[in-house]
């Protein structure tokens, strides 16, 4: 088999130890005999991560395979990846493997995904199955978000979720290998040429929804997005960002989450459907609060949601200026 170059990109922000574990887990795998180059971007970490990473790369003898890049500013996940993707020079790698700093390869993930893309020329991206630190599978494959899916997620009520199942965004954690809407950006391999055609990540996203948008653009260009269950990573969700998916905590969401939500829906669904999705989220959140109070549970709406969503996401949809995140 002829070697196929794979560029691995890891964006670090205050997670130097996790990043080094992710690099080590990558170097310890055979990659199906392919040659790889690992690029680590330090996103202006304020705690001295760049020096820690630089010393570790030298001390561990990784310098021939691992390149460290420094960003002068914390530009977010998508733009951090773009720093590397836009600089890749000839001979260009065929594939780019995006790996979160809080994820580690469980098996020969890169080799499996590259083999899959070799065998499926219509596929633009292939994402790995993901387990948490206890080995329990978590959702790694999704439908694209829309109005009904937003309502179902906000309401979080079993009978309604079953009724709206075909619009729900998350697929089962045990989803077999199949084409999907989008896959988790924690561990995904993408054809570099396909990424170049869509202009890489949209820099308007600081964090969240950037991979959803990228895969939507790839799909609009005719590329398939596949979930490949045989490839596996372990992901310590939230370790790098402090934000966890789902509704297991009422923790307040950062302003950039709402900004990314607004930009995604405006860009991909248009103003009218974005406003409808916002209304659906409000109605679902109110319904969830009522249901949880009636059964003595805890409402699953993020802390400060009603005001934050209005100030940051909804007002601009209505043509008003956003208000400060207080």
In terms of phi and psi (left: phi > 0; alpha: psi -120 to 50; beta: otherwise), the region of 320 is beta
Is there a single domain that holds both residue 162 and residue 277?
yes
Tell me whether residue 114 is in a domain: yes
Is there a single domain that holds both residue 47 and residue 148?
no
Domain hosting 281: range is 144-168+246-326
Residue 60 sits in a domain of what CATH number?
A: 3.90.550.10
Q: Give the whole-angstrom CA distance, residue 280 versus residue 258.
A: 15
Of 189, 212, 235, which closes a domain? 235
Tell me whether residue 1 is in a domain: no
Is there a single domain that holds both residue 11 and residue 116?
yes
Of 189, 211, 235, which closes a domain? 235
Element (H, E) at 275: helix 255-294
Digitized pLDDT (tens) for each residue of the chain, 326 residues in all = 344 489 999 999 999 999 999 999 999 999 999 999 999 999 999 999 999 999 999 999 999 999 999 999 999 999 999 999 999 977 899 999 999 999 999 999 999 999 999 999 999 999 999 999 999 999 999 999 999 999 999 999 999 999 999 999 999 999 999 999 999 999 999 999 999 999 999 999 999 999 999 999 999 999 999 999 999 999 986 555 555 554 455 799 999 999 999 999 999 999 999 999 999 999 999 999 999 999 999 999 999 999 999 999 999 999 999 999 98
Is there a single domain that holds both residue 209 and residue 92?
yes
| pTM of the model as a whole | 0.93
Is there a single domain that holds both residue 61 and residue 95?
yes
DSSP reduced 3-state for 320: coil
Q: Give the whole-angstrom CA distance, residue 287 versus residue 155.
A: 6
Element (H, E) at 147: helix 147-155
Is there a single domain that holds both residue 299 and residue 196?
no
Is there a single domain that holds both residue 76 and residue 161?
no
Tokens of 130: 């993901």
Tell me whether residue 164 is in a domain: yes
Tell me whether residue 240 is in a domain: no
Which long-range CB contacts under 8 A does 254-259 form with residues at least 24 apart?
254/207, 254/325, 255/308, 255/312, 255/325, 256/76, 256/206, 256/207, 256/208, 257/207, 257/208, 258/308, 258/309, 258/312, 258/313, 259/206, 259/312, 259/313
Is there a single domain that holds both residue 203 and residue 279?
no
Is there a single domain that holds both residue 218 and residue 265?
no
CB 200, CB 84: distance < 8 Å: no
Tell me whether residue 211 is in a domain: yes
Q: How far is CA 313 from the centre of its chain?
A: 20
Tokens of 191: 């054809």
Please tell me the total count of domains within the chain.
2
Is there a single domain that holds both residue 37 and residue 186?
yes
């Amino acid at each position: 088999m002829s070697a196929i170059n794979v560029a691995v990109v890891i964006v670090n922000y205050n997670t130097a130890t996790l990043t080094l574990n992710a690099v080590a887990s990558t170097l310890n795998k055979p990659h199906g005999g392919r040659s790889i180059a690992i690029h680590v971007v330090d996103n202006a970490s304020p705690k001295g991560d760049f020096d820690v990473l630089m010393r570790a790369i030298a001390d561990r003898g990784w310098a021939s395979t691992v390149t460290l890049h420094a960003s002068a500013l914390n530009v977010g996940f998508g733009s951090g990846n773009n720093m590397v993707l836009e600089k890749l020079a000839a001979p260009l790698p065929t594939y780019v493997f995006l790996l979160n700093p809080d994820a580690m390869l469980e098996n020969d993930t890169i080799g499996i995904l590259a083999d899959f893309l070799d065998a499926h020329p219509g596929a633009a991206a292939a994402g790995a199955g993901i387990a948490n630190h206890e080995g329990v599978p978590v959702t790694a494959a999704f439908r694209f978000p829309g109005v009904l899916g937003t309502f179902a997620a906000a309401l979080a009520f079993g009978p309604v979720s079953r009724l709206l199942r075909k619009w729900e965004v998350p697929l089962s954690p045990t989803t077999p290998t199949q084409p999907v809407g989008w896959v988790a950006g924690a561990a995904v391999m993408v054809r570099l040429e396909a990424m170049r055609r869509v202009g890489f990540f949209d820099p308007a996203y600081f964090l969240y929804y950037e991979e959803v948008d990228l895969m939507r653009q790839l799909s609009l260009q005719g590329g398939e997005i596949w979930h490949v269950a045989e490839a596996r990573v372990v992901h310590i969700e939230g370790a790098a960002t402090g934000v966890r998916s789902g509704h297991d905590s009422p923790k307040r969401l950062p302003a950039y989450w709402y900004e990314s939500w607004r930009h995604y829906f405006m860009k991909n669904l248009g103003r009218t459907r974005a406003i409808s999705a916002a209304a659906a989220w409000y109605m679902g959140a109110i319904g969830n609060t009522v249901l949880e109070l009636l059964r003595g549970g805890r409402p699953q709406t993020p802390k400060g949601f009603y005001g934050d969503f209005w100030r940051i996401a909804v007002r601009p949809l209505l043509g008003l200026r956003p208000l400060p995140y207080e």
